[in-house]
Amino acid sequence: MHPFDIKTVLFAKHSQHVVLIHFPIALFIIGVLFDFLAQWKKQRLLAAAAYYNLLVAAIATVPVVVTGILAWQWELEGQKLKGILLMHLVMGCLSTVLIWVVWFIHTRTRRKQQEVLPGYRLPIEAVAVVIVALTGHLGGFLSGVNGPG
């Protein structure tokens, strides 16, 4: 096992995908929470906090997707997935798209210098949180967080 081998770095005992995934999950959920609070309290500061959390969440999905696909290609040699692994892959891709869509809605409003964010974003954000949570649940199930050791 070479310490500077890229596969070793990415998969040495703990796949980096499993580590990195916590960043977009946490940032996105807290971003949506801030957005709902901003909508309710009509506070710009909360809206700004929501925006930056959603921005970093979207950026954080990139290494997560890359390490997830690399784990599939290198560890499982890109074999055809089925069952929980396939479900996790599909829901992970869907989660990523939804996180970027939510960020895009926010950033477009800011660019247009509109005061009010569109109301339809809220159900999209709620659905995205559910999908992200389900993906994380499947990932936790796969990684064996409830297993021994």
Partner 1 sequence: MRRSVSIAGLAAALVLGIGVWGTGQKGSVTSAQEKMSTMEVRIDNFSFGPVALTVPVGTTVIWTNRDDIPHTVVSTDDPKTFKSKVLDTDEKFSFSFSKAGTYPYFCSIHPKMTGKVIVQ
Contact residues for partner 1, defined by CB under 8 A: 11-15, 75-77, 79, 81-85, 141-144, 147-149
DSSP label at 25? H
Q: What is the CA radius of gyration of the chain?
A: 17
CB nearer to partner 1: pick between 18 and 128: 18
- CA-CA distance, 139 to 51, in Å (whole number)? 26
**Least Cβ distance, residue 148 to partner 1 (angstroms):** 6
CA distances (Å), 105 to each of 6, 8, 17, 34, 53, in order? 36, 38, 27, 15, 14
CB nearer to partner 1: pick between 65 and 117: 65
CB nearer to partner 1: pick between 84 and 126: 84
**Least Cβ distance, residue 26 to partner 1 (angstroms):** 24
